[in-house]
Amino acid sequence: MSERFWNFELMDPYELVSLTPAMVDKAEEKFKVTFPARYLELLQEQNGGSLYLNKFPIADFEEGSIDVDYLWGIGKSGKQGIYVTSYLIKEWGLPKNLVLLNGDGNFWIGLDYRQNPQEPGVVYLESDSDVEITLAPSFEEFVSRLYREEGSDELDMSLFEDDKTEFTQEEAEQAFADNIVLPISLALFHLTKVETDIDWFLNQAGKLLNNKDSTIVMETEVTMMQILLNQPEQFTPLHLQNIKKMMASLKKEWKWHSDIINYAQKIEVKIKQMSV
């Protein structure tokens, strides 16, 4: 997939463990449905989570859209995941034959299997009213109409008014060499907002990923993913092979750190997609 869908947050409260075929089979048997191919395709990349494309247009609403900040994946962790559907349907008196993907008690978004257990539409419902809107006749069309809210990528730089927030390559290298977390984080964030020289970045990333501070390592992973997403055409097969080696080494060095391991695996999935 070339279009970005997930937000790829480092510690996403909506993300579940990586999806397996057995998990899909178990869930389809539980709900007596077939999941949309596009839904499963997205869950192979990340099993639920916060969305980069976080708005859906509804012309009849005053705001002109609804928020779709996340989608649940297959499984359950606390109150997250599609397995909470049965409880929520009973708790809120929702129609049967839905698989909920998003909701907070005020409104719900779900796969609607009431008409067809093989090819569901996507429905929006409100708990305290009779409002029910078919957002799309298929999950694939629903995804195709999601969009990114303008300004969602902005960071309030006034929070860092006493700190440097824009960097030349030389200044970024100095920040990395000084080995202080905040300047490194700000320099890395700056690199996600400008066109970055890939050879230079991978050279710097290789050094930062060898840092003993887990925060610096994780910030570097996130920056690498953002640059992969922002500048995919700039990465050559050699670049991708280099990143693959970095991730393999990282997983060995930090095998006890689940967050670093999990994000390294996300990067591996992304470079595999880019290599096709």
183 & 240 share domain: yes
Q: Give the pLDDT band of residue 153 (cuts 50, 70, 90).
A: low
Asked whether residue 43 falls in the same domain as residue 141, the answer is yes
Q: Of 50, 55, 53, which Cα lies nearest the Cα of 16?
A: 50
At 110, is the secondary structure helix, strand, or coil? strand
Q: Say yes or no: 269 and 189 in one domain.
A: yes
Q: Do the domain assignments include residue 5?
A: no
In a domain, 7, yes or no: no
The answer to whether residues 119 and 229 belong to one domain is no
What lies within 8 Å, CB to CB, of 19 at 6+ separation is: 40, 43, 44, 47, 73, 74, 75
Do residues 140 and 162 make contact, with C-beta atoms less than 8 angstroms apart? no
121 and 39 within one domain? yes
Same domain for 174 and 271, yes or no, is yes
For residue 231, pLDDT over 80 is answered with yes
Domain assignment present for residue 36? The answer is: yes
Pick from 109, 47, 96: nearest CA to 74: 47
φ, ψ for residue 73 (rounded to 5)? Answer: -100, -170
Q: Are residues 78 and 178 in the same domain?
A: no
Which residues, 6+ apart, have CB-to-CB distance to 249 below 8 Å? 209
Q: 169: part of which helix (H) or strand (E)? A: helix 169-178
Amino acid 32: pLDDT: 95
The structure tokens listed for 107 are 């409104």
Do 141 and 167 belong together in one domain?
Answer: no
Q: Kindly indicate the confidence band of residue 122, based on its pLDDT and cuts at 50, 70 and 90.
A: very high
The residue among 122, 145, 168 that closes a domain is 145
Question: Last residue of a domain, which of 145, 169, 194?
Answer: 145
Work out the angle at residue 61's Cα, subtended by the Cα atoms of residues 113 and 119, and round it to the nearest 5 degrees.
15
Q: Let me know whether 270 and 162 are in one domain.
A: yes
Q: Kindly state whether residues 137 and 166 are assigned to the same domain.
A: no
**Segments forming the whole domain that contains residue 35:** 21-145
State the average pLDDT over residues 188-211. Answer: 96
Tell me, yes or no, if the pTM score tops 0.85.
no
Q: What is the pLDDT of residue 143?
A: 96
Indicate whether 151 belongs to any domain: no
- The arithmetic mean of pLDDT across residues 33-54, rounded, is 95
**71 and 141 share one domain:** yes
Mean pLDDT, residues 229-255 taken together: 96
- The last residue of a domain, from among 117, 145, 173: 145
Domain count, the chain: 2
28: domain CATH number is 3.40.1580.10
Residue 135 has which token pair?
A: 């957002």
